[in-house]
Amino acid sequence: MNWEEISVPFDLPEVRDEISYQRVVMNSGATWDYFPGHFDPAYAESQGHPTIFVNTMHLAGFADRIATDWAEPDSRVVRRKMRLAGSIYAGDTMVGRGRVVAKRCDTTVDPPRYLLDVQIDVTNQRGELCCPVELTLQLPG
């Protein structure tokens, strides 16, 4: 991806990912986050949730994947801000819609950093906003 040639705003392709029970359990296995809301449906229900749900790292990983799949693997996430507005439960489909909203050259560092600001909304299959994400990608200069 050539930073110079990107015009903003630019809409990224929509990404959908079906989250099975196995995926939620893999989430605990991969992140070592064994909060019981991530693997025990009875615990999740006792806390007011319909079933187990993915953790913050999983949602962050989905957002990062959307950004770097598009920007190619020599790009890197250098900042990510997210709000956990709702949960993604086992059986849900995560839907990610991203948009490049700005490009900046950070000249406060040497060599300068070539940056893209991306907004990604992660919703569930019902269109409910679960996680708005602001993310900054660094591209090779």
Partner 1 sequence: MTTPISYRLAFGTYEDALRMVGVTSEPRTAGTAVSASRIQMFAATVRDGNRSYWDAEFAARTWGGLLAPPALLMGWLTPPPWEPTGRPPVSAIALRVPLPGTTFINATNEAEFPLPIVEGDLLTVVEEVVSVSPEKHTKLGVGHFVETLDTFTRHDGAVVATNRNTLLRFTPGTPS
Minimum CB–partner distance for residue 57 and partner 1 (Å): 5
Nearer to partner 1, 6 or 33 (CB): 33
- State which amino acid sits at residue 15: V
Report the C-alpha gap between 67 and 115 in whole angstroms: 12
C-beta separation of 67 from 6 below 8 A: no
Report the C-alpha gap between 136 and 123 in whole angstroms: 20
Nearer to partner 1, 57 or 102 (CB): 57
Nearer to partner 1, 32 or 107 (CB): 32
Nearer to partner 1, 49 or 103 (CB): 49
Which residues in this chain contact partner 1 in the complex, by CB under 8 A?
17, 23, 26-27, 29-37, 39-40, 42-43, 46-48, 55-58, 60-65, 68-69, 73-74, 76-84, 87
Minimum CB–partner distance for residue 110 and partner 1 (Å): 14
Nearer to partner 1, 7 or 108 (CB): 108
Q: Where do we find the tokens 């906003």?
A: 129
Report the C-alpha gap between 48 and 31 in whole angstroms: 24
Minimum CB–partner distance for residue 59 and partner 1 (Å): 8
Neighbours of 97 (CB within 10 A): 16
Minimum CB–partner distance for residue 8 and partner 1 (Å): 22
Report the C-alpha gap between 103 and 4 in whole angstroms: 9
- State which amino acid sits at residue 126: R
